[in-house]
Amino acid sequence: MTSSRSQSSRRQSAAPGQSLVGRWLLYAVLTALAVFFLFPLVYMLASSVKPDDQVLANSQSAEAFLPTPFVGLENYGDAIDRAQLPRVFLNSVVISSFIVGLGLIVNSLFGYALSRLRFTGRNILRAAIVALIIIPFESLAVPLLFMGAEVGWLDTYQIQILPFIANPLYIFLFYTFFLSIPVSLEEAARIDGAGPFQIFTRVVMPLAKPAYATVAILGFLFSWGQFLWPSMVTRGVDVRPLPVGIGVFKTTPPVSWGDIMAYTVLMTLPLLVIFVVFQRQFVQGVASSGVKG
Amino acid sequence: MPFTLAIWFSLTNQRLISPLATRFVGLDNYTEQLTNDLFWTSLWNNLRFAGFVVPVQTGFALALAVMVNQNIRGRVAFRTIFFTPVTVVIAAAATIWVLLFNINGLVNGLLELVTFGNFAPDWLNSTAWAMTAIIVVSIWQGVGFQMVILLAALQDVPVERYEAAAIDGAGTWQQFRHVTLPGIRNALIFVLTVTTILAMRLFDQPTLMPRSPGGPLDSTRTVMVHMFEIGFGRQAIGRGSAVAVIFFVIVLVLTVIQRLFLREEIAT
C-alpha cells in the first residue's frame, strides 16, 4: 500500500491496487452482491400486489419484479382475514416488547450488581454466567414445555416471555460495559446526596446508552423471529406470534402466493423500517456483540 | 434448573400427559436414541449443513467485510444493503425462498437460461437438493451479521502495521495473511464458534421449507427437528430430553475442539 492515499482518517485494510480497473471491478462485484441480497425483497413486494395465480406465472420473466398485473391491496385484505393478522401482530408486539423491556431492566441491574457490589460467591456467579452463555435454549425447551404444562401455562403470553427475560449474554454485555465506566462518577454523585437508585438512573444509565441500545436491538431481532418455542407452547391463534401464524397458509389449500407474500411483507416491514431509521445503532450493536467473544 | 430437569427427565419415561406413573428407566432413552437410525440421520444432516455453511459463510462474510472496508464511495450504502436480510426474520426469509425455489420459480428460470434448460431441479422436493436450498437461505439471511462483526474487527487493526508491512515489501496478499488475519483472530474465532452453534440449532428452515418438516424423506431432518417431533409431537418428554442432553454435549464438544484447534493453528 502506498502512502499517497486520501487524507481519510478512517483505518483501512489493504486496497486491491489503486488502478482504475481494480476499482471498477470492485464496484461490479459489490453491485452484483447488492442485487443478490435485495432481489428476494423486491420480489416479495412485487408479488404481494399481484393476483395469486400470476405470482408463479410471472416469476421466470422480468415481470417478477414489477407490480403487474396490479390488484392493489387486495392480498393484504385477504391475508389479514385469513391469518387473523391484527391479533397475531398484536401478539408479536406484546411478546417482543415485554421480553425486551423487562430484559433491559433485569439484565442491566444484574450486570450492574456484578460489576459494583463485592459479595461472596461473586466470582463463581460470574463464571456461571459465562458458562450459561453457551447452553442453547433448545436443550431446555422440552423440560420447560413440561413445566409450563404442569402449571397450566400453555397458550399464554407469560410462557413465551418469562424464559427469555434473563439472558446471560446480555448480562455479560452490561457487566463489561459497566466495568468501563469510572466509579468516581458514582462516588461524586453519592457525595452530592444521591441514593443508589438515583445514581443508577441519573448517572449510570445515561452513560450506558450504547449497551442498552445493543441489548434492545439484539433482543428485538431475536424475539420477533422466534419460531421453535412458540410452535411448542401455542395451539390456537389467540397468543400465537407472526412467524408461527404463517402456518395457516400451509395447511389450507389452495396456495395463494399473493396472500402469503402480503403476510411476509407485513411481518418483515416493522423490523425493516426500524432498521432503516436506526441502521447506525443496529450495525454498532451487532458489532459490539462480538467484541467480547 | 430446567437443565437439571432435562438430565433427570432423560433418565425417566416421563410423558406430557399419561395415566401411567413416571418410572426411572436409567440410560434406556440414551441407548434408544444412539441406536436409532433417525437420530443419526438427523445428526448427519446437521454436520453436512455445518460442514458447508460454517467455512463458506465465514469466508463470504470476511470477503464482504474486506470489500466494504475499502476506501471507496458508497461503502456505507453497500454495508447497509448486505446487512438488510438480517432484519428479515427466518420464517419470512424461508417463505420467500420457497417461492423462489419452486420448480417453476425464479431460481430455475435463471438456471435454465444459463444452462440452456439442462439444469432445473425441483429443489425442495428433491432429496439431493433440498439441503442446498436451505443452505442458500441460511447464508443469505445470516452472512450480514458476521460481516458486521468482522468489519468492526478489521477497523481495529492499527494502520501502522500495514505501513510497516508495506515498507518490508509485503504485497496485498501477504499483508492480508500476516497483518489482517492475526489482527482479527479473536473476532474470527467468535464468528466460527457462533456459526457452528447456530448451524447445530437449525430448525426453522427445515420445518418451514419442505412440504413436510425435515423432508423429503428425512433429507433435511436435523437434531432439533428430531427433538421437536419426539418431545412435542409425540409428547415423550423423557426421550426428548435425552435428545436435548445429547445435543448439548455435541455443541459443547464442538465448541471446545474448535477453540483448542484454532488456538494452536494460529500459534504456529
pLDDT of residue A64: 84
The answer to whether the Cβ–Cβ distance between B158 and A37 falls below 8 Å is no
Higher pLDDT, B6 or A266: A266
| Whole-complex ipTM | 0.87
Does residue A77 sit within a domain? no
The class that CATH gives domain B2-9+40-267 is mainly alpha
A27 and A137 housed in the same domain: no
A89 and A52 housed in the same domain: no
The overall average pLDDT reported for chain A is 85
Give the separation between CA B166 and CA A15, rounded to whole angstroms. 12
pLDDT of residue A98: 96
Does residue A279 sit within a domain? yes
For residue A59, give its domain range: 20-72
Does residue A89 sit within a domain? yes
Testing the interface with A: which of B124, B148, B248 to mutate, by most A Cβ within 10 A?
B148
* Domain ranges (residues) in chain B: 2-9+40-267
Which residues does A122 contact at the CB level (< 8 Å), separation at least 6? A114
The answer to whether the Cβ–Cβ distance between A10 and B155 falls below 8 Å is yes
User: What is the residue-level pLDDT of chain B in tens, covering all 268 positions?
Assistant: 666 666 666 766 666 655 555 667 767 788 878 888 899 999 999 999 999 999 999 999 999 999 999 888 888 999 999 999 999 999 999 999 999 999 888 999 888 888 887 788 889 988 899 999 999 999 999 999 999 999 989 988 888 888 888 888 888 888 888 899 988 988 888 899 889 988 998 999 999 999 888 888 999 999 999 999 888 888 888 888 889 889 888 888 888 888 787 765 554 4
Q: Say which DSSP state B12 is in.
A: B
Does residue A107 sit within a domain? yes
A60 and A152 housed in the same domain: no
Confidence of residue A101 (pLDDT cuts 50, 70, 90): very high
- B103-111's contacts with Cβ under 8 Å and 24+ in sequence apart are B104/A56, B104/A59, B104/A60, B105/A56, B105/A59, B105/A60, B106/A43, B106/A59, B106/A60, B106/A64, B108/A60, B109/A59, B109/A60, B109/A61, B109/A64
Confidence of residue A206 (pLDDT cuts 50, 70, 90): very high
The overall average pLDDT reported for chain B is 86
Does residue A285 sit within a domain? yes
A35 and A156 housed in the same domain: no
A109 and A186 housed in the same domain: yes
Q: What CATH number is attached to the domain comprising A238?
A: 1.10.3720.10
CA-based torsion, B174, B175, B179, B183: positive or negative = negative
Q: Say how many domains are in chain A.
A: 2
* Minimal-distance CA residue of chain A relative to B109: A60
A44 and A67 housed in the same domain: yes
The answer to whether the Cβ–Cβ distance between A268 and B87 falls below 8 Å is yes
Stated pTM of the model: 0.88
A91 and A229 housed in the same domain: yes
For B126-174, what is each residue's pLDDT tens digit? 889 999 999 999 999 999 999 999 998 998 888 888 888 888 888 888 8
3-class DSSP state for residue A64?
A: helix
Testing the interface with B: which of A19, A24, A139 to mutate, by most B Cβ within 10 A?
A139
Residue A61 near chain B (CB below 8 Å): yes
Does residue A167 sit within a domain? yes
A140 and A281 housed in the same domain: yes
Average pLDDT over residues A100-113: 94
pLDDT of residue A7: 37
